[in-house]
Amino acid sequence: MSDTWLPSLITDTPQEGYELAIKLSRMGVKYTQPSDEVRQKLRPIYGEDATNLIASSQVVATNFQTVAAANNYWK
């Protein structure tokens, strides 16, 4: 994947920052498993597993911490 999709971690609002954290998390999965076909096959499996959903939420939270720090916590 060579196209630039992340020009900056800077966002105008915490809401935009949270949405960026979700995008970072989703792109991490895409880079780890580049096959769209495999991701589509696995989605129903992990989408109904509470442990996997909690783990996904933890990844988003970690990415949100990174974005928040980059934005000086929107102070």
Helix, strand, coil % (nearest 5) of the chain? 70, 0, 30
- pLDDT for residue 1 is more than 90: no
Q: What is the pLDDT of residues 20-62, one digit of tens each?
A: 999 999 999 999 999 999 999 999 999 999 999 999 999 999 9
Give CA torsion, residues 44, 47, 48, 54, to 10 deg.
160
Integer CA distances (angstroms), 33 to 16, 18, 30, 52, in order: 26, 23, 5, 16
Query: Nearest to residue 64, comparing CAs of 36, 6, 34, 24?
Result: 24
pTM: 0.89
